[in-house]
Structure 1
Amino acid sequence: PGHQSVRLEGAKDQCAGRVEVWKDRMWGTVCDDRFDLREANVVCAQLGCGTALKVTGQNGLFPPGSGPIHLDELNCTGNEQNLWFCPGVQENSDCGHKEDAGMRCLKSSPLSVSGHEDQCAGRVEVWKDGKWGTVCDDRWDLNNGDVVCDQLDCGIALRVTGQNGLFPPGSGPIHLDELNCTGNEQNLWFCPGVQENSDSKLTAPSPLCSVRLEGAKDQCAGRVEVWKDRMWGTVCDDRFDLREANVVCAQLGCGTALKVTGQNGLFPPGSGPIHLDELNCTGNEQNLWFCPGVQENSDCGHKEDAGVVCSGQSDGSVRLEGAKDQCAGRVEVWKDRMWGTVCDDRFDLREANVVCAQLGCGTALKVTGQNGLFPPGSGPIHLDELNCTGNEQNLWFCPGVQENSDCGHKEDAGVVCSGEPEPGESRSRPAAGRR
């Protein structure tokens, strides 16, 4: 059975998945101990799938298998005909299926995401004519991002970026431009668009997949949800602190964590499965699935769903500076990779309510301006003469003057919101994104 007694399972693509080998009339998995690109190259060559791009193991991209674990502690050179020719342990593995080795070959998905530590986020690159090339961001939207995320087994697209985005520009050819996907295509080459004749030299689109923040207007704050088995689920707040929150914020390109919330927190409870519980991250992991913890067997209810407020470093993000309380201070907004202030001309409780809501800080109690409660800022004055209704997602949706303010920093707008940090929580804030 199979192709020369090896197969890759758990993905749509026959050249990517969990490694399984055939022995004694039964398919079995391979433990990820010492499994690296040399072992993966043996599998790819055996399957006619080119060379190995990536290997995954514990809590990797592909679901765990079942049955026997046929091979462990392999030590291949990369030139063997199949894995059984490599030194290693046969049949007596001490691994569990959560350690099943997985991999992706070059011919599997002629696609990758680069420029970011997370394998489900980065600059989009596609393979053609023996060379990786980028994709221009013209017309790039969530439908296109969905195709990429689905092809990489990374859930659905949460966000796309382009010019001056989160990820560094690529090099080499720009293979695709002006794509117009429906979101259901097998890969980007099935989408209408321009191939090879792009006039763009710098901008490449980027999808972010596999985690999201829900229940708030700000894309960098909300209830934490992760994608597994084609379903969004929440994360229990047990042991969930700023370390876990920093993993989420970093993955979403939202700076660093300012605050975590749990039972009866700022954000409404979710529904569906509770995918993760009792996480114990260091704060440096690529995503929450790399942290030790309980998967799928949580004893929590949704009233204990974890929430996060990140510092936010995407255009439209906002912060309050110059006070000890994270829900009060001088209003600053992020644009063109720089924090800038907002002039107090026409700035009243309607504008302030937009800010407070975006930060998960309740409603506005007070606004301040010239010679106000908070020290003046520095740098650009991004917004002036705002005229919000109070219901906008962020201040950039309000009519007003952008970048051409006649104000000085003594007129920087300030806000006091109703929200307060939780008792015992640190009131100090990281300086992420300051210029």
Structure 2
Amino acid sequence: MFVSVLLLTWTCISLAEAGPECYQCTAISDPQLCTQKVYCGFEEQCYTERIQLGSHGFYYNMGCIATNLCYSIDNNDVLVGKRFDLADQATSRRKRDPACKQCCREELCNLPLCSLPADTATIPPAADIYARLLGGKTPYEGTVEVFYGGRWGAICNDDWTHYDAQVFCNMLGYTGDGARAKNGSVINSDQSKVWRDQFECRGIESGLAQCVHGTWEMRDCENRQIAGAICSSESADDGSIFLLDSANNTMARMDLKTKSFTYIPMLGLYNPGPFDFDPVQGRIYFADQTYKQINSMKSDGTDIVNFRQLEQNSSPGKTKVDPINRMLFYTDYGLNVIASVNLDGSHFQNVISSGLDSPRGLTLNPKTRTIFWTDWGQNPRIESASYDGTNRQVLISTDIRWPNSIAIDLDNNRLYYVDGTLGKIESSDLSGNDRQILFRDNGAHFYGIDVFGGYIYYTDWARSMPMRLNKDGTGLTSLGAPSFLQLSDIKVYQYNKDTSGEATVSPSVLSPKQTFLHLVGDVDSTTGRVDIYINGQWGTVCADKWTDNEAMVACHMLGFDRSLAKASKLPPTSNKVGSNSLDSVQCNGTEDNIVFCNVSAQNWAVHDCSYEGAAGLECENLPPHEMPEPVLDHFILFNDVFEGVMVRMDIETFSYTTVPLQLTNFTPIALTFDPTLQQIYFSEVKNQTSVIRQTDLRGAWVSTLGYTPQGSVIDGMAFDNKRNMIFYTDAGNNRIVSISPDGSNLNVVGFNIEQPKGLALDTNAAVVYWTDCGSQAKIESANYDGTNRRTILAEDLQFPYGIALDVAAGQLYFCDAGTKTIEVVNIDGTRRKMLYKDFRSACYGLALTSQYIFYSDWTKMNVVRINRDGSNQTPAGPDSFSQVFDVYAFDSTFTKT
């Protein structure tokens, strides 16, 4: 078995005159036999390498190696150290190399590196079939693979049916209802062999092994396509093993019963680290070492938010959720603290901030409000303290080296912990007494541990699947097929069977907060087909039982007046190709969200609307001159330049409609809004110059105001509805310009602005504010006629893009894509305050309402909402967009100008 490797980034560099003491041996048959020691030089680390010796096994070399070589052996291999620091691995490349090479920098740390595990586990019989789902945008869809006869392989889709997909989805722990077969990827020339070309399932079997099939053999796929599946997103995480593969920067969800699994994609943007699961909300909290964050997401990888941004020198270790007291604790071995924060984001505090050397593992007793943690420092130990930091006690301090992880058994009041150096799993009572060595494996590198039911679940860097033991240390069993490179953390969960004292969430995962509607229209934005997003999957609403009552709820979610709603039925050809479907929706017309209208797993993704047709809407079933005022309120407008769309989204429900502009190669950049006439002004880049266009919220028409000079780049726009004037920034010509909506009265407000971007207006005082992202970044203002130009901020800025103004409060809000912050400052430049920081973000557009800040983030696939005080980050709507530029918010209760 090959040992995988992990890139290591050190948060600080030792200035000592010498490096660590290491074990040093050459051509030794077992690292555990090495007794010779040596002190390494400055900027050297300990290392171990395992080398294949023909067909006669392995030999090992151990000693010191230059630190820079730890990062670049063969220019491809990446190395693992004792510390669990994840570097930014977006550009890293890993491969399975038969020669294991690993580094570490602690004293005598290279003894367990590259060791092979003892082959004493109960291995699943060859007849067992495991399943996994790969390569999808969500954990519910992707390419089908099965494990049989010691290897993973694909299935040819020649005769792959929905019945086969139902059985396959059941193996993953999902409901079989609504499961559908689909094409997977095209087979490459070096992957032309697949497992079988057909199954004959009826959809009721417990696994693919029970389906009718011939002998297992490798077959060529005649049409070069392999099978895929789409499972229902209305499936509960009930009976799951959540896993972290640190070498691949991936998380997986394994079914507790079948041991089949699917990856949790997380948009491909995150580097997950140690995590925990909140059974009350069904959310995973994980540390991200690269961006120094603790993030939160639904267990399917959607709705990812930056729960807490940590300091630059932080190295978050273990996160642990207290579901009863609604708190989260984490260890930080960069700052040597243990911190806590409420799950609503409030009341952050450093609980333990002294006497820590390298805190790592963490577990909680919610009933007694006690923390238990492990420490890797010069004097390794296990300690405990109350939630407020008092009653601190050292529980264990002898015969312990690298206590990587710790878990608690509240049923029996026992602690369980693993030691990565001494190769043992041990138990004690909650006072550290009655210690018992339950299991020992000198070839293991134990890392994560969890206790569930009558078992101990753990991860071992030397094994490519999770492992399980009875609580007495017997019954060693591998779980599932060899599939992972370096398993680190593990969490087991099952509804109503979780650890004693913990609240558990209902297995139903349908939530109004993650259910959105999209009105897809070709004529205007008030009529069209109703598409629905449920837990990461889009689908079409079927027209059976679709009446004006259902239309009233749908139009309300989209921000329209429900009393004007009218249902329509579209032909089956209007269905969204390849989508799921929702049928038998039944509303009384007063619900706030369609999920309260008889929506469940029984009517999601079960039918395809092929008979009933698709549900349609008319949300403004009156002539424009008869519409009440205001027509629409409480919404945001934004542009997705890569998708070429303009969107109006309701502020509260995040359901949205696309403004269907009939423009070829539409590339919207900046936009602004006239609240009186409810018309949109926006810029496009055409042939190296910008054009300004105008439309209304319906999108039924579009007109061109005029083309700007050659080379103009309009990145920011604002509208003065008192003077009926449009202002815009022109980064191509280094100026701020005002113009009338009919294209007349062009006036240059400011010259010689290196890179003007965002724009905001005080229409009472006739003052324009803008950001400049030039070599000397700054925020400036001037009167409309260009006089009284002044600099408001010119320090600690890098790329200030978005800007918004609260006239009543006399405050400017701005975001900086360089400093990764959103800040507020008085319009005179005083009382500057950072509201929010996200090391991952690249903020561009910014907008204000009475309660919220909305901003576009080029690292995410949607707009983001936070409270005005910077708290409670929330993705606005589904992860369905590409690159959002400008954002405008309209809230009639908030006076912006």
Shorter-chain TM-score bucket reads 0.3 to 0.5
Write 1 or 2 for the structure with the bigger share of helix: 1
Write 1 or 2 for the structure with the bigger share of strand: 2
Larger RCO (alpha carbons 8 Å, 6+ apart): 1
Q: Decide which structure has the larger Cα Rg and report it.
A: 2
Question: TM-score scaled to structure 1, two decimals?
Answer: 0.35
Question: TM-score scaled to structure 2, two decimals?
Answer: 0.19
